[in-house]
Structure 1
Amino acid sequence: MLFGKLLPREGNFFELFDQHGGFIVAGARSFILLIQNYGDPALREKYANDVGIAERQADRITAEVNRLLHKTFITPIDREQIHGLINAMDDILDLLQDASETMSLYDVRAMTDDILRLGDISAKCCERVQHAVSLLPKISQAEAAEAAIKTCEEIDKLESDADRVMRSAMSKLFREETDVRELIKLKAIYELLESISDRCEDVANLIEGVVLENS
């Protein structure tokens, strides 16, 4: 009991989640600008760098959350939920950076309409992740809990949209792309972008669990 009294209670986990969500949105918006301006090498480099900055800032938040978990006696929600949520959120930015770096590494010729569509869906998912996370401190209130669940359902729908775009993109790619190297490059990019919405759905599922257990 003495050990518990010496450790802080609660911690600022929700604030850190919200900060991390902000970096996710910043990274997603920079990624959208990257693919929209892919033909301009200077802008491409700038926005790729911005994605990396957001990813590193989010990494620091993740490290702080994990550090707080070790020193906080009583947490506002289950420890495993905190750990799972922050690491799933961090994966989103890791994937955004992976997609950005893969485009540069593979020297993709140009952006396709399907890359733009998948990027747009990913960015919308990221915005909704931030919104859902921002509601966590208030989920004891019915209105906030309902809003969080609704936002998670929107993420689920967007992930289904990404699946449909992905299937169509792959079908078109294998039918029409005659350059094998370009086919391999684009396939890798499509898979990375689709995995971003998958990871957002994972976050949504975790948030739904938190809401159902704590509202």
Structure 2
Amino acid sequence: MLATLPFLGYILEGLTITIGATLVGFAGAMLIGATLATLISGSNAFLNTAATGYVTVFRALPELLFVFIVYYGLDIAMRAFAARIGLSSLEISPFVAVAIALAVQFGAYCAEIFGDARRAIPVGLIEAGEAIGLSDSRVRTRIVLPLMFINATPALGNIFLVVLKVSALASVIGLEEVTRRAKVVAGATKEPFGAFAVAAACFLVVTAIATALQHYLERRANFGRSAVKS
């Protein structure tokens, strides 16, 4: 364990990459999920079917498999594009690949969350907005979207924690995140327990902070629900 201590800074630098990939992937997942939920609840049958198919497909794929598909698929596409425009080569960044993989795949889960959150909005609130003369776009932005995010807060917090843990899969494509750096340190010191214990502690600390923030947002969301009911 003592042999791992000099490498603490090296491992902690990997934690910043883990957090960065998680935040980018989660933000992308929320954007994709909100868009899909809107399409699924819309009146266009084609877009509704396409969005539903997206959710079905990407919820079924294993996360590790999809990380490989995105990384190697984009690598092939970028090399082909580089050859077409006369460049020597273009390479995909592992960070970009894992962020895209997380966003695309967990966007399907977020779509389900946002869909349930939207259905939980009392119809009377929407009708009240229409009754006072709000346009469809204003009803959507001032009533539907705020209440949808309030209702989705608890589930989104759980999804964030899942994305954080799944981000460790980025090590398989060479991203220098906390898990991969812990493996490097374990190989150098011959003390795998110490290195991976530090990595585990990093995840525990980030999870504790994220959970505390989630509880804070849930309390704010409950306050918002009380204000709406009153």
Shorter chain as normaliser: what TM range?
0.3 to 0.5
TM-score normalized by the length of structure 1: 0.36
